[in-house]
Copies of this chain bind each other. A is one copy, B any other.
Amino acid sequence: MCTSVIYTAGDYYFGRNLDLEVNLGQEVVITPRNKTLEFREMPNLEHHYAIIGMSIVRDDYPLYFDGVNEKGVGMAGLNFDGPAHYFPVQEGKDNIASFELVPYILAAASSVAEAKKLLSNANIANINFSDKLQAAPLHWIIADKTGASVTVESTAKGLNVYDNPVGVLTNNPEFPRQLLNLSNYRSVAPANPANVFAPNVDLPVYSRGLGTHFLPGGMDSESRFVKATFTKMHAPVGNSEVENITNYFHILQSVEQQKGLDEVAPNTFEYTIYSDGSNLKKGIFYYKTYENSQINAVDMHKEDLEASELITYPVQNKQIINQQN
């Protein structure tokens, strides 16, 4: 379904794979500081932090899949079908619709700590954007430019904000279980393992990479959570922005869903429609798509962030092959 990762390499890079069977028409959308953000049950925000990210726009409203703000806070919503539970509007609570949560947080939080405060009295309200556009079952990851990150899950038991020690999120099951499952992989490592299976017998290291033999490669959310965490944890730190963003996309690629591998309905396949990542400090938004392997970039600071209307860039989805002759 989806995988989101924060990668630490001097600067911090945050983004996600969007895995789905249909392209919903997303664009790169900048919400400048003076674009009024309306909320169903909360006061409108007329002035706020500028936001850039991947989003669809309906009725002039940015329905962000993921984004980052000018303060270096990033946030992504990921499918959480099953445990996700939204509640009726509740008196005395900060009632936020699930589709409002990304702009709500990114508009006002300059750190994960501030995001946690914004969520401390929150109720994720079961409001649809419209009859046509029903609320999707989601959970969220929030990260900032100090490398901190949290997972936000609204389930039948209420709203949980979990510290996220690995900086990775995929999908169902609930986050504590995903985390606990990593313990099963304690022995998996980049180096070839010592022979503790039968120390008195010669068991040849017949291949490089035997230390990762038990790393999962499935499309399911548990497998992607394990693999993305491992890849991220061992990713090297580059010497430049280009090297880092390159490494970042390779991390996401380790859990890419290739076309044909995840059949979600007869002859209908989910795949990694796009991968994106932003430098949280610099406000540059990078992305690739399944169809276009070249990296594209939109720099929020090249726009007039004091504007009051959404700024959009179409997704470059055409494969441009560099013909050398």
Stretch at the interface among A67-75, A131-139, A222-230: A222-230
A321 touches B296 (CB 8 A): yes
CA distance A256 to B263 in the complex (A): 22
Closest to A191 in B: B263
Residues 211-239 of A, flagged 1 when their CB comes within 8 A of B and 0 if not, give 11111111111110001011101111000
Is the CB of A38 closer than 8 A to any CB of chain B? no
Asked if A215 contacts B218 (CB within 8 A), the reply is: yes
A219-B229 CB under 8 A given contacts A186-B196, A321-B286: no
Minimum CB distance partner of A217 in chain B = B217
What distance in Å separates the Cβ of A325 from its nearest Cβ neighbour in chain B?
5
Most central of A189, A216, A325 by chain B CB within 10 Å: A325
Stretch among A58-66, A114-122, A197-205 lining the B interface: A197-205
Query: In the docked arrangement, what's the CA distance between A321 and B201, Å?
Result: 34
Copies of this chain assembled into the complex: 4
Q: Majority SS of interface residues in chain A?
A: loop
Q: Is A195 an interface residue (CB 8 A)?
A: yes
Known contacts: A209-B221, A294-B322. The answer to whether A183 contacts B201 by CB under 8 A is no
Q: A197, B230: Cβ atoms under 8 Å?
A: yes
Stretch at the interface among A40-48, A85-93, A95-103, A243-251: A243-251
Are the CB atoms of A259 and B250 closer together than 8 Å? yes
Q: Which residues of B contact A242 (CB under 8 A)?
A: 319, 321
Whose C-beta in chain B lies nearest to the C-beta of A203?
B183
Stretch at the interface among A10-18, A105-113, A169-177: A169-177
Complex: how many Å from CA A261 to CA B188?
10
> B207 near A222 (CB under 8 angstroms)?
yes
CA distance A269 to B207 in the complex (A): 14
Once A201-B166, A324-B297, A325-B313 are accepted as A-B contacts, the answer to whether A206 and B173 lie under 8 Å apart by CB is yes
Q: Is the CB of B294 within 8 A of A294?
A: yes
Q: Write 9 A-B pairs (CB below 8 A) sorted by A numbering.
A: A187-B194, A196-B211, A197-B230, A208-B262, A235-B258, A253-B258, A294-B294, A294-B322, A296-B321
Beyond the given pairs A171-B208, A207-B222, A297-B324, 4 more chain A to chain B contacts, judged by CB atoms under 8 angstroms and listed by A's residue number, are A180-B206, A212-B218, A246-B290, A297-B322
